[in-house]
Amino acid sequence: MDLRVEPGERVLLLGPSGSGKSTLLLALAGLLDPAGAAAHEGSLRVDGGDPRQARDRVGVVFQDPESQVVMGRTGDDVAFGLENLCLPTDAIWPRVDAALHAVGLPYGRDRPTDALSGGEQQRLVIAGTLAMRPGLLLLDEPTANLDGGGAETVRSVVRGLAEQREMTLVLVEHRVADSLPLVDRVVVLQAGGGVVADGPPREVFAAHGEELSAAGVWTPDSRLPGVPERSRPPGETLLVAEQATYTYPGATSPAMRRVDVQVRSSEALAVTGPNGSGKSTLALLLAGLLRPAGGTVFATEALATGRGREEPWRWPASELVRHVGTVFQDPEHQFLSTTARGELMLGPRRAGFPEDEARRRADELLERLHLSSLAEANPFTLSGGEKRRLSVATAIAASPDLVILDEPTFGQDRRTAVELLGLLAGIRDAGRGVVFVTHDHEFASALADRTLRLAPPDGPA
């Protein structure tokens, strides 16, 4: 790749999943050591020198906010970078408060960081980065886990900073239409290396729009297709939550309060709502991975024949994997193997499938989700989008009766989002249940038969 970014430019970096967008940001941030690479060539400079020597002038927001939260309280986390820059104490706290206000985080300085939802953690990380007032700001899908209001708040903050022309911006984002007002240049990477398009947004999409869409790159006009008409009506009830409530250890208020919902076979249920409303918590409760603090979540005979009405959190892992497949918000939290193929074979093995059948299922999913070339790769070395597809594949490899997914489209290009849409619709139409947490309203509209919108636990019902 050959690329030059001038001071003050605002660049939107696009490309199919796995084309190197996140790797480029890591390199610009000085977080890749060429000496540790299996192979490298060429040069990369920030301000004319080694990027590792410019780290104090570069701010970066990763795809996974948890990897950047380092302190126990929100105010301390935002102050952490400023303290490392050796700013006087009386200069730190006004910048902390201003940054928290700018990203719309409502809790002040004292909120425990482990009590924040994934979307709230993302806002916190962005606040900590903006508080340092970097000369080069690198954002890797900063709004992917944010609700509509939070995403617009972040875009407004970034827009204001970029328009001052005191900051250079490189942004990776799949919400292309929403991102165009933030940038003055679009650079498109192609899988396998190199730049396939570079220029003002209007010119790039006019000249290359159809080509980019065919390659799986999101464009301002990209839309998901509707799924085929469902082949059967919703079936039997699989899971029931009654007044389900959960409070995380050490928290003073519940993450989710008094939720009632039924999950049915042959149906796709979308779970939506603002950040902090308990969507991910509900997914873990339904999946049997958390025990309710109040109320109950129980499986019916239709989900687990012979077990009767029983709470899934009581099931042993070998039983749970046969009936419920789960995709976490952070895919790295569920990887256990050293290869992608091995990861996909774990569930079928635990469910009692023969070895050759476990391998057949793994290879079929690798092919369908465009991961075959990465079968022997360590899951932790994959791109964010590739990790997400692998985590979805692991959840369905053992053909469970119910699949529960948290943000399944995060990090996906258009081609793989369409593939996921077809895959989940097929699971639903085969008679199994699908529950998915999402901020992707287009994906929800295309797939969901029913939508449950949660409100914050301390807000109106």
- Output the pLDDT for position 114: 83
Same domain, 287 and 434: yes
Q: Whose structure tokens read 């606040």?
A: 127
For residue 189, being part of any structural domain is answered with: yes
Spatial distance between the Cα atoms of 59 and 281, rounded to a whole number of angstroms? 30
**Contact present, 117 and 107 (Cβ < 8 Å):** no
Same domain, 273 and 198: no
Q: DSSP string covering 245-258, please? A: EE--TT-SS-SEEE
Same domain, 62 and 205: yes
Same domain, 106 and 140: yes
For residue 337, being part of any structural domain is answered with: yes
Same domain, 246 and 201: no
The residue range of the domain holding 323 is 237-453
Spatial distance between the Cα atoms of 79 and 84, rounded to a whole number of angstroms? 9
Q: DSSP string covering 97-111, please? A: HHHHHHTT-TT-S-S
Q: How far is CA 227 from CA 78, 414, 451, in A?
A: 43, 15, 16
For residue 221, being part of any structural domain is answered with: no
Spatial distance between the Cα atoms of 106 and 112, rounded to a whole number of angstroms? 13
**Contact present, 412 and 389 (Cβ < 8 Å):** yes
Give the alpha-carbon dihedral of 157, 159, 164, 169, to 10 degrees.
100
Let me know if 199 is exposed, middle or buried by CB neighbors in 10 A (0-12, 13-18, 19+): middle
**Contact present, 244 and 256 (Cβ < 8 Å):** yes
For residue 260, being part of any structural domain is answered with: yes
* Residues sharing a CB contact under 8 Å with residue 100, sequence separation 6 or more, in sequence order: 74, 75, 78, 107, 108, 109, 124, 127
For 62, half-sphere exposure in the C-beta direction (CA atoms, 13 angstrom radius) is 16
**Contact present, 100 and 168 (Cβ < 8 Å):** no
For residue 207, being part of any structural domain is answered with: yes
Same domain, 77 and 162: yes
- Output the pLDDT for position 245: 96
Helix, strand, coil fractions of the chain, as percent rounded to 5: 40, 20, 40
Spatial distance between the Cα atoms of 167 and 10, rounded to a whole number of angstroms? 8
Same domain, 180 and 247: no
Per-residue pLDDT of the chain (461 residues; tens, 9 = 90+): 899 999 989 999 998 887 889 889 999 999 887 776 667 788 899 999 999 999 889 999 887 788 889 999 999 999 999 999 899 999 999 999 999 988 888 888 998 998 887 778 888 998 999 899 899 999 998 887 777 887 888 788 788 777 766 789 999 988 888 889 889 999 999 887 889 999 999 999 999 988 888 888 889 988 888 777 777 788 899 999 999 999 988 788 899 999 999 999 999 999 999 888 999 999 999 999 999 999 999 999 999 877 768 899 999 988 888 899 999 888 888 899 999 999 999 989 988 899 999 999 999 999 988 899 999 999 998 887 788 889 989 988 988 999 999 998 887 888 888 888 988 999 999 999 999 999 888 899 999 999 999 998 775 44
Q: List the CATH number of the domain containing 202.
A: 3.40.50.300
- Output the pLDDT for position 459: 57
**Contact present, 263 and 402 (Cβ < 8 Å):** yes
Spatial distance between the Cα atoms of 182 and 169, rounded to a whole number of angstroms? 9
For residue 227, being part of any structural domain is answered with: no
DSSP secondary-structure letter at 389? Answer: H
Query: What amino acid is encoded at 288 in this protein?
Result: G
For 287, half-sphere exposure in the C-beta direction (CA atoms, 13 angstrom radius) is 23
Same domain, 280 and 153: no
Beta-bridge mates of residue 304: none
Same domain, 209 and 249: no
- Output the pLDDT for position 351: 84
Same domain, 382 and 439: yes
pTM of the model: 0.81
Same domain, 193 and 261: no
Cα three-residue angle 222-104-220, rounded to 5 degrees: 10
Q: Whose structure tokens read 């302190």?
A: 71
Same domain, 338 and 192: no
Counting the structural domains of the chain, the total is: 2
Q: How far is CA 165 from CA 54, 66, 155, 169, 387, in A?
A: 19, 30, 16, 9, 35
